[in-house]
């Protein structure tokens, strides 16, 4: 549609202010409008993923003229079309509260409860809680969990966020742990002695301001009037490519649908929006029925419930809950099944936006509701200009058959859901990677109707999602079972029939074929048991004459009936209190709030892409390779340059200096080595135009051989990035000859995506003279980016100034990659002479940037029957991708750290980095340790299994016990390691819980408990002295205020907060006198990457040094006037011409290693122990995390709140690595997992039900700043305690089923892996010959 046509006015309110938009773009979203519109510019709400992380959550309020109520809805602004907001009131972060005006209690509490780290997710968290309180001023804890279930956080581990929200809840006066009525803070006498000198309060909730609903923004009176007297005419908004039409009446909608039969109806945009973005669906006309109240009518009849197609899923959930509460149970079976799935279908935001009608009509193969509606005999009420008609929601409709489908001019008006009947039972089942907010692997709706008073099947319906292109109904199987009794013989036949009818080819999209086949029958078994239970109740009232045919359920099977509910996590965080003699103004050792906490919570913290648009600014987008290994024949950009407002195309030929390294080009030349490799870039005046432009770049390829994706293929092809790394001690061959037993095994560890909430982004501003550049970038290493830009542009480093205010998460992913992106953006800025902004979408970020190295490990371990290990040989291969990057260093660190906490006399560790045709992998939190030591710990469990001993006994028997030397001959004392281990055993009540778990396992066949405790010795720092140096610059101004700058970057780890704590102690003045502006290469040059857990260590030493220099200069003045104030002393110093500026410097910890691999490569070690307990469901592969206890050696924590947050966040991130985070690649090397829908990081519902963290008291070291230790990385591996607890439960199931132990370990422990414990269902499913089909995905580790 041409945009020259006049549009109607779009009227809505933002934060109480009226907005009249006369040129609303139908393709524009609310988020884009608010962040980028020149008259709005509200950047508090963040863009992170495009519809699944909750970072862009806002509140939309509407008045319902029928109920006379205002409904507040949390929504994801990146999906909401701007044109859909006519008559709505939008509330953003800026409307909730501000540091400049008034901070809202939600903002205050999340900040002071230490619920922010990087702060990028915080605005979304705040808005979700704010919306909840708008509807429920005193919510239940269940409502709080539900409200936050759609928000992701990568830093905190969620616990402090939840703690802040619980202060509003009506149950928050006590945790009522485990339903006992006791609080987890209530300790017995022995515990109080144990806790002497320790505290567990990280914040004082009595200091919080109360919530006062009368102080909130009122709903605009003008919108009330508009709702009561709605606009009668059709609203039309014309864009450059799309026209949005919003009729006021159903009649008008039907006329429009007849005129534009291909036009989709759009309500929440949760289906069409992602499809338009990822699959390039395009519709020139969009019809919006948002103003048509007839489509939202709910009516109850004698035989069922009719729900308007325009009702949101949240409204449907409320309606069904009301029906369940007032109708007899026999009538609500279908409603209960729908409610069960609605609780886990998307987050709160998606449920508020998605409509029932679109959900049904979309017929997604993974639909959670359609299988239930199908078996529940729902009917669809269709309407068009020709009139109304009904069609059944059955297998023909779900398959999209023309005879059972909507006609082009029809719309879905409502869905009729019949009541269930007496002797009728309906159930719903689903299994997904994560419990909430995840697409199901398989789901099902099941219904059976019995002849009254009998167990004879009168009607049966089974429908499955996730096992075909659409929901599949097992109609033939059901027909053959009619008239059968509900017994085991029927079940056996039903399983056989289902396997034949619900067939899934080996190459089926989504993969996990055998797992899905098993779920099909295991869900049926669960249904069988559930119905038997219900029949028991009914048959007592209506006895069956021949009751001997009615089977009893064994007691050991009863737990199979129980699903894992979402629970409210509990826990205690304990730390050493500061010395009673420490001055109150000395903040070191106290739980000080993150310096930017309140700014995070109000949206006033400025991130890279929040910087306002600069004059003449251009937007850059990248063109990437679509081939894994190919020669570039040509790059044709002629079409691109003809497009309006496209300025230029940047290729390798435009680079004036160096195009990266010989084997690692910034922009590809002649050849591409992976899908996602950068080829060129386009700069245009708007984001819309630049994204359209990159699709017009035509690249011609010629495929090359070989193409390598997996470690296995790389080994076969001898494809390696660097020479093998090796460490050896003792005589391993001789030791193997003298042991009682030898076990060999394999470990496969998948990769991991950083999934920092803020994607890679950079803003380059060229200056008018001397080739100077100002560059704002989200990076952990601005000096490296600066050097790369310098060499790329061939200009001196001193002309390039980098600014890093804060980074929205890094985890190693922003050490190296920002240099590439910064350099390309700089070339664009220099070539065009205009500022250039480059912001990666989540999909591009995941495709391009690489992540944690997948690992394949082989071990051979020799041991005595007592469990004492005498020899260990480990060979590790990591998948480095197409170029070296950090792979050689990762390999070195991996083998240096493989021994973990164990003293084994004879060792051989070897490591190789494989070259493959995948994007190169890079640094990631833990730097090889989390993958490598999983191999070591798998050896331990293998030895335990062979010896018939418990794994914890093998760990204890082989742990370092006295002062000793590592494999690389660095001396250390394991005393603190042993203390952590023993305290963790004690605090977790490990041995008693082990016994309780064994009793549970005896009584339950389909559910098993597992428990594991893992020790850890983690070496901190870089293995080079020069990488431990740091500098700081401290200025004291004449008013007494202090400006601190240093070389560290704020990534969320609280480094700026800790630096001011250090400066406050050293200068003996309050932190309120001090300020940190940013990290800049103009103030502190030649910095080292903020990584390896030592950022606070080394920069703190530099700040300390600068402050001590200043204080020494001030000493004569302070002695001369001891009663003077700080301001007096500073004024006097200025008058006496004493410099009030000082550079502090720390030369670095000594670290060295000789050619033989011996020396002291690390400054010190961090010790930890973690115990986790889980329960698994053998029928579905699901698990729940019952409890985790962590004991951490922090020595003297600079800030316990920040350090505990780092521990918890790292643990949850590690737990994700080992349980849910799975990267899937196609056989052609395409990354499938390019967003939060496919790649599942842990959510708030994944926290252990009880989560306790304790900092080990009275631990000291003279080496570090105030005896503190760097903690950022080490907690990552402790997530493996969950993995080994799951493995423990699986091993129990294997032993019970007489299955031989498999010494091939695979991580992550997904439901598919857990369900591999064989039973009668896994045995009956067909197995495919891998040679007979092309798999959907391939392993790369």
Which positions are annotated as active-site residues? Answer: 1273
Contact by Cβ (8 Å): 517, 1326: yes
- Give the containing element (helix H, strand E) for 1208: helix 1200-1219
- Give the containing element (helix H, strand E) for 1030: strand 1030-1036
Query: 1016 is written with which tokens?
Result: 């850890």
Q: How far apart are CA 260 and CA 256, in angstroms?
A: 6
Nearest to 1186, CA basis, from 1296, 1295, 1285, 1052: 1285
Query: 901 is written with which tokens?
Result: 């906490």
Contact by Cβ (8 Å): 323, 301: no
Q: How far apart are CA 364 and CA 465, in angstroms?
A: 9
Where do runs of H (alpha helix) occur along 243-389? 250-259, 272-279, 313-326, 333-342, 348-353, 356-362, 370-375
Provide the 3-class DSSP secondary structure of residue 1281: helix
Q: How far apart are CA 1139 and CA 1154, in angstroms?
A: 43
Query: 635 is written with which tokens?
Result: 């790059």
Provide the 3-class DSSP secondary structure of residue 697: coil
Looking up tokens 């007032």 gives 326
Q: How far apart are CA 262 and CA 871, in angstroms?
A: 70
Packed helices 887-897 and 929-947: angle between N→C axes, nearest 10 degrees: 30
Strand order in the sheet with 906-915: 725-729, 906-915, 869-881, 855-863, 741-749, 1304-1307
Contact by Cβ (8 Å): 732, 906: yes
- CA 57 vs CA 98, 120, 353, 450, 1013: distances in Å: 17, 12, 12, 47, 38
Beta-carbon contacts of residue 821 (< 8 Å; ≥ 6 apart): 760, 762, 838, 840
Nearest to 219, CA basis, from 60, 85, 39: 60
Q: How far apart are CA 614 and CA 623, in angstroms?
A: 24
Backbone dihedral angles phi then psi of residue 1031, each to the nearest 5 degrees: -135, 160
Q: How far apart are CA 1339 and CA 1329, in angstroms?
A: 16
Beta-carbon contacts of residue 1252 (< 8 Å; ≥ 6 apart): 184, 571, 572, 573, 574, 987, 988, 1187, 1188, 1189, 1190
Q: How far apart are CA 987 and CA 1190, in angstroms?
A: 9
Contact by Cβ (8 Å): 1010, 1285: yes
Residue 680: count of CB within 10 angstroms of its CB: 22
Residue 143: count of CB within 10 angstroms of its CB: 17
Q: How far apart are CA 780 and CA 1055, in angstroms?
A: 12
Looking up tokens 């700014």 gives 599
Q: How far apart are CA 549 and CA 554, in angstroms?
A: 15
- CA 145 vs CA 9, 565, 1097, 1195, 1282: distances in Å: 39, 12, 37, 34, 22
Q: Are strands 457-465 and 472-473 parallel, antiparallel or unpaired?
A: antiparallel
Provide the 3-class DSSP secondary structure of residue 431: strand
């Amino acid at each position: 549609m041409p945009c020259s046509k006049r549009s109607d006015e779009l009227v809505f309110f933002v934060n109480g202010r009226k907005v009249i938009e006369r040129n609303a773009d139908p393709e524009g979203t609310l988020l884009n409008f608010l962040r980028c519109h020149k008259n709005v510019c509200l950047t508090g709400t963040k863009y992170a993923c495009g519809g699944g992380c909750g970072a862009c959550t806002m509140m939309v309020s509407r008045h319902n003229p029928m109920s006379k109520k205002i409904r507040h809805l949390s929504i994801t602004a990146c999906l909401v079309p701007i044109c859909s907001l006519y008559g709505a009131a939008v509330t953003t972060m800026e409307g909730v509260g501000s540091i400049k005006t008034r901070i809202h209690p939600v903002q205050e509490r999340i900040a002071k409860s230490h619920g922010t780290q990087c702060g990028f997710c915080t605005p979304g968290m705040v808005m979700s809680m704010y919306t909840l309180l708008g509807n429920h001023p005193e919510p239940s804890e269940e409502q709080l969990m539900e409200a936050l279930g759609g928000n992701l956080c990568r830093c905190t581990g969620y616990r402090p966020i939840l703690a802040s929200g619980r202060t509003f809840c009506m149950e928050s006066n006590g945790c009522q742990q485990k339903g006992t009525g006791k609080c987890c803070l209530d300790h017995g006498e022995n515990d109080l002695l144990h806790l002497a000198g320790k505290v567990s309060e990280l914040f004082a909730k009595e200091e919080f301001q109360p919530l006062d609903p009368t102080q909130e923004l009122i709903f605009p009176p003008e919108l009330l009037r508009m709702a009561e007297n709605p606009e009668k005419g059709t609203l039309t908004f014309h864009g450059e490519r799309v026209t949005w039409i919003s009729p006021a009446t159903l009649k008008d909608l039907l006329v429009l649908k007849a005129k534009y039969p291909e036009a989709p109806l759009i309500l929440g945009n949760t289906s069409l929006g992602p499809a338009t973005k990822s699959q390039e669906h395009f519709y020139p006309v969009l019809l919006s029925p948002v103003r048509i109240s007839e489509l939202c009518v709910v009516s109850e009849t004698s035989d069922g419930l009719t729900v308007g197609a325009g009702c949101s899923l949240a409204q449907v959930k409320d309606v069904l809950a009301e029906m369940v509460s007032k109708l007899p149970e026999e009538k609500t079976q279908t409603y209960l099944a729908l409610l069960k799935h609605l609780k886990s279908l998307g987050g709160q935001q998606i449920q508020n936006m998605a409509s029932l009608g679109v959900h049904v009509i979309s017929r997604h193969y993974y639909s959670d509701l359609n299988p239930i509606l199908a078996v529940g005999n729902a009917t669809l009420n269709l309407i068009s200009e020709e009139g109304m008609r009904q069609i059944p929601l059955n297998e023909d409709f779900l398959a999209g058959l023309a005879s059972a489908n909507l006609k082009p001019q029809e719309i879905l008006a409502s869905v009729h859901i019949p009541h269930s009947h007496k002797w009728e039972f309906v159930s719903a089942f689903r299994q997904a990677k994560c419990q909430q907010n995840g697409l199901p692997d398989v789901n099902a709706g099941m219904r059976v109707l019995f002849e009254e008073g009998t167990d004879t099947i009168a009607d049966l319906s089974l429908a499955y999602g996730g096992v075909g292109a659409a929901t599949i109904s097992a109609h033939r199987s059901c027909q053959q079972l009619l008239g059968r009794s509900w017994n085991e013989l029927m079940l056996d036949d039903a399983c056989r029939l289902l396997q034949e009818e619900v067939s899934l080819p080996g190459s089926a999209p989504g993969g996990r074929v055998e797992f899905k086949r098993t779920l099909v029958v295991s869900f049926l078994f669960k249904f069988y048991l559930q119905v038997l239970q219900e029949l028991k109740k009914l048959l007592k009232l209506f006895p069956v004459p021949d009751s001997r045919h009615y089977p009893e359920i064994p007691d050991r099977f009863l737990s199979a009936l129980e699903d894992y509910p979402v629970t409210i996590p509990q826990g205690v965080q304990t730390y050493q209190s500061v010395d009673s003699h420490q001055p109150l103004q000395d903040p070191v050792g106290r739980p000080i709030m993150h310096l930017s906490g309140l700014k995070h919570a109000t949206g006033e913290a400025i991130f890279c892409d929040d910087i306002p648009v600069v004059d003449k600014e251009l937007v850059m987008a990248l063109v990437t390779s679509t081939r894994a290994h190919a020669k570039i024949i040509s790059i044709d950009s002629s079409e691109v340059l003809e497009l309006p407002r496209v300025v230029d195309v940047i290729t390798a030929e435009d680079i004036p200096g160096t195009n990266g390294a010989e084997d690692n080009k910034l922009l590809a030349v002649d050849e591409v080595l992976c899908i996602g490799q950068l080829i060129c870039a386009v700069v245009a005046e708007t984001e819309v135009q630049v994204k359209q432009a990159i699709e017009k770049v035509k690249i011609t390829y010629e495929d090359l051989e070989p193409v390598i994706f997996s470690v296995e293929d790389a080994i076969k092809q001898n494809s390696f990035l660097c020479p093998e790394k090796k460490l050896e001690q003792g005589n391993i061959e001789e030791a193997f000859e003298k042991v009682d037993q030898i076990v060999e095994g394999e470990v496969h560890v998948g990769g991991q995506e950083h999934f920092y909430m803020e994607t890679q982004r950079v803003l380059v501003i060229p200056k008018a003279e001397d080739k100077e550049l100002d560059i704002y970038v989200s990076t952990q290493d601005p000096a490296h980016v600066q050097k790369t830009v310098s060499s790329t542009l061939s200009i001196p480093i001193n002309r390039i100034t980098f600014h890093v205010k804060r980074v929205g998460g890094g985890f190693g992913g922003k050490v190296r990659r920002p240099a590439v992106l910064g350099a390309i953006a700089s070339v664009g800025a220099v070539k065009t002479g205009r500022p250039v902004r480059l912001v990666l979408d989540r999909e591009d970020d995941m495709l391009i940037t690489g992540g944690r190295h997948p690992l394949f490990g082989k071990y051979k371990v020799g041991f005595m029957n007592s469990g004492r290990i005498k020899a260990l040989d480990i060979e590790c291969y990591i998948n480095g991708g197409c170029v070296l990057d950090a792979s050689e260093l990762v390999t070195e660190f991996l083998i240096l750290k493989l021994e973990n906490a164990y003293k084994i006399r004879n060792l051989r560790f070897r490591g190789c980095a494989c070259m493959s045709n995948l994007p190169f992998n890079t640094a990631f939190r833990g730097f090889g340790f989390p993958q490598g030591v999983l191999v070591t710990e798998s050896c331990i469990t293998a030895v335990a299994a062979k010896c018939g001993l418990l794994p914890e006994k093998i760990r204890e028997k082989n742990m370092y016990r006295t002062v000793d030397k590592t494999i690389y001959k660095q001396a250390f004392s394991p005393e603190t390691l042993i203390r952590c281990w023993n305290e963790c055993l004690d605090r977790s009540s490990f041995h008693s819980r082990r016994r309780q778990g064994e009793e549970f396992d005896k009584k339950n066949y389909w559910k098993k408990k597992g428990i594991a405790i893992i020790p850890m010795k983690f070496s901190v720092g870089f293995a080079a002295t020069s990488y431990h140096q740091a500098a700081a610059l401290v200025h004291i101004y004449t008013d007494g205020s202090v400006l601190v700058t240093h070389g560290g970057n704020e990534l969320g780890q609280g480094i700026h907060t800790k630096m001011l704590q250090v400066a406050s102690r050293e200068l003996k003045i309050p932190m309120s006198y001090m300020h940190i502006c940013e990290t800049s290469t103009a103030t502190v040059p030649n910095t080292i990457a903020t990584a390896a857990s030592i950022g606070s260590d080394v920069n703190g030493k530099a700040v300390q040094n600068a402050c001590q220099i200043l204080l020494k200069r001030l000493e004569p003045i302070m002695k001369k006037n001891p009663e003077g104030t700080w301001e007096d002393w500073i004024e006097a110093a200025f008058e006496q011409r004493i410099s009030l500026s000082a550079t502090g410097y720390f030369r670095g910890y000594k670290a060295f290693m000789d050619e033989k691999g011996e020396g002291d490569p690390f400054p010190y070690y961090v010790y930890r122990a973690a115990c986790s307990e889980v329960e698994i469901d053998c029928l579905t592969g699901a698990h729940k995390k019952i409890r985790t206890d962590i004991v951490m050696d922090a020595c003297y924590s600079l800030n316990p709140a920040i350090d505990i947050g780092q521990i918890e966040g790292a643990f949850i991130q590690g737990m994700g690595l080992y349980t849910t985070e799975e990267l899937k690649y196609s056989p052609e090397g395409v990354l499938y997992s390019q967003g939060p829908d496919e790649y599942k990081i842990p959510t708030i519902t994944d926290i252990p039900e009880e989560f306790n963290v304790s900092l080990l008291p009275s631990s000291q070291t003279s080496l570090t700043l105030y005896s503190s230790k760097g903690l950022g990385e080490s907690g990552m591996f402790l997530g493996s305690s969950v993995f080994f607890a799951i493995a423990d439960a699986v091993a129990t199931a294997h032993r019970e089923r007489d299955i031989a132990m498999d010494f091939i370990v695979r991580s992550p422990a997904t439901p598919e892996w857990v369900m591999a414990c064989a039973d009668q269902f896994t045995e009956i499913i067909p197995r495919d010959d891998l040679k007979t089909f092309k798999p959907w995905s391939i392993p790369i580790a």
